[in-house]
Amino acid sequence: MNKLVKIFSKYYVLILFLFLELLSVVFIFQGKNYHRSLFINTVNDATGNVLSTVTNYKDYLNLRDENERLNVEISKLRRLDSESITKINSSYTFINDSVYRQKYTYLDAKVITSTVHKKNNYILINKGIRDGINLEMGIITSEGVVGRIVSVSDNYAKAMSFLHKDAGMFCKIKRNEATGILQWNGDNPEEALLIDLPLTTDVIVGDSVITSGYSFTYPKGIPMGIVKEVKENQSNQMLEVAVQLSLNYNEISRVLVVQSLDKDELNKLQKNTP
C-alpha cells in the first residue's frame, strides 16, 4: 500500500493528465455523432483490414493444397482419355469420341458456402452468367458429384447439393454396369442408398458405384462411392444397397462446373419422341 501511495504521489500529474484526456475523449464521442461515427468507422476499418490480412494469409497457406486439388481434377480427366483435353484460356474441354467431337466443357469454380446437415442442402459458387454458367449444369470433383445448378446470377450460382431429397441420379455398379438410382438417405452426409435393383442383381460389398451418364448432366464414370451393405427387401423384391460416399461434402472448396454440349439436342429429341 505504501508503494502504491509513493507511486501515485510521484506520478500524480501524469496520471491526472491521462485521466482527463480519457474523460475528454469519452465526452466528445458521446456528444458528437460525427466523432462517434468516425471512431466506429476507424475501428471497423482496422478490424476489417486485420481480418482481411488473416484471410489472405490463410488463403496463401492453403494455396498449395488448392492447386494440388485442382491438378488432381485435371489429371483425373486426362486419365479418362489422354487425347481428350484441350486447354482454352481458363477452361478445360473434354472430347469423348473417336472423331474428337466435343461433348463436355469444364470450368473451375470456388465454393463460397455450403451446407451438409440440413434435409435439403445447397452450395454457392463464385461463377455466374458472365462466366457461361446456366441452369441445370452439373458440378463435380474428382471424388464425386457435388450437385447441379438451380439458380444463377451475373457472378454467382446456387446449386442443389447431392445431399438433397430431390437429387437422386442413375448410377451403375462399375463391375457389371447394373443400374439403379442413387439417392441420399437424408441423414448421414457420408452415406447414400442405391435402389431400384432387382433381387437377382449381382452386387457385393466393395463394389464401386459410378455415374451412369443417363442424365445428360454428368459424364459417365464419375466415382460416387463403395458398396458397404446389401439388403433384400422382400416386400418389393428389390435390393437396398448402402453406399459409402467417396466425396466428403464437408470439405469441398474447388469444383468443376460441367456443361453437356449435347444436352439441349437430346432433351429436344426426347420431348419429340412419342
Do 18 and 114 lie in one domain? The reply is: no
Mean of pLDDT over the chain = 77
Residue 236 counted as domain residue: yes
User: What does the alpha-carbon distance between residue 194 and residue 242 come to, in Å, rounded to a whole number?
Assistant: 6
Query: What is the mean pLDDT of the segment spanning 11-26?
Result: 62
Do 198 and 212 lie in one domain? The reply is: yes
Q: Indicate if the pLDDT at residue 198 is higher than 80.
A: yes
Percentage above 70 pLDDT, the chain: 59
pLDDT at residue 104 in the model: 79
Q: Give me the DSSP letters along 184-222.
A: E-SS-TTEEEEEEEETT----TT-EEEE-STTSSS-TT-
- Note down the domain range covering 258: 87-164+251-271
pLDDT at residue 106 in the model: 86
Q: Indicate if the pLDDT at residue 195 is higher than 50.
A: yes
Do 211 and 106 lie in one domain? The reply is: no
Do 235 and 256 lie in one domain? The reply is: no
Which triple of cell numbers denotes residue 72?
488432381
Per residue, the 3-state secondary structure of 23-63, as one string, reads: HHHHHHHHHCHHHHHHHHHHHHHHHHHHHHHHHHHHHHHHH
Which triple of cell numbers denotes residue 34?
460525427
List the single range of 16-20, 143-147, 191-195 with lowest mean pLDDT: 16-20
Do 256 and 159 lie in one domain? The reply is: yes
pLDDT band, very low/low/confident/very high, at 86 (cuts 50, 70, 90): very low
Do 234 and 262 lie in one domain? The reply is: no
Q: Return the CATH number at 224.
A: 2.40.10.350
Residue 48 counted as domain residue: yes
Q: Indicate if the pLDDT at residue 75 is higher than 50.
A: no
Residue 81 counted as domain residue: no
Q: How many Cβ atoms from other residues are within 10 Å of residue 57's Cβ?
A: 10
pLDDT at residue 56 in the model: 59
Do 223 and 121 lie in one domain? The reply is: no
Do 152 and 261 lie in one domain? The reply is: yes
Do 241 and 264 lie in one domain? The reply is: no
Give, in degrees to the nearest 5, the angle at Cα 261 between 260 and 263.
65
Q: Among 64, 98, 116, where does a domain finish? A: 64
Q: Tell me the per-residue pLDDT of 93-125, one tens digit each, with 9 for 90 and over.
A: 544 544 445 677 888 899 999 999 998 999 999
Q: Tell me the per-residue pLDDT of 220-248, one tens digit each, with 9 for 90 and over.
A: 899 999 999 999 988 888 999 999 999 99
Q: Which has more pLDDT, 212 or 71?
A: 212
Q: Tell me the per-residue pLDDT of 165-178, one tens digit each, with 9 for 90 and over.
A: 999 999 999 999 99
Distance from the Cα of residue 103 to its chain's centroid: 24
Do 110 and 220 lie in one domain? The reply is: no
pLDDT at residue 15 in the model: 67
Do 116 and 223 lie in one domain? The reply is: no
CB 107 within 8 A of CB 131: yes
Query: What is the mean pLDDT of the segment spanning 9-36?
Result: 59
DSSP class of residue 267 equals H
In the chain, the number of structural domains is: 3
Residue 73 counted as domain residue: no
Q: Return the CATH number at 94.
A: 2.40.10.340
Residue 139 counted as domain residue: yes
pLDDT at residue 157 in the model: 95
Residue 82 counted as domain residue: no
Residue 72 counted as domain residue: no
User: What does the alpha-carbon distance between residue 148 and residue 164 come to, in Å, rounded to a whole number?
Assistant: 11
pLDDT band, very low/low/confident/very high, at 38 (cuts 50, 70, 90): low
List the single range of 3-7, 173-177, 189-193, 207-211 with lowest mean pLDDT: 3-7
* pTM of model > 0.85: no
CB-count exposure of residue 175 (10 Å: 0-12, 13-18, 19+): middle
Residue 29 counted as domain residue: yes
Do 91 and 159 lie in one domain? The reply is: yes
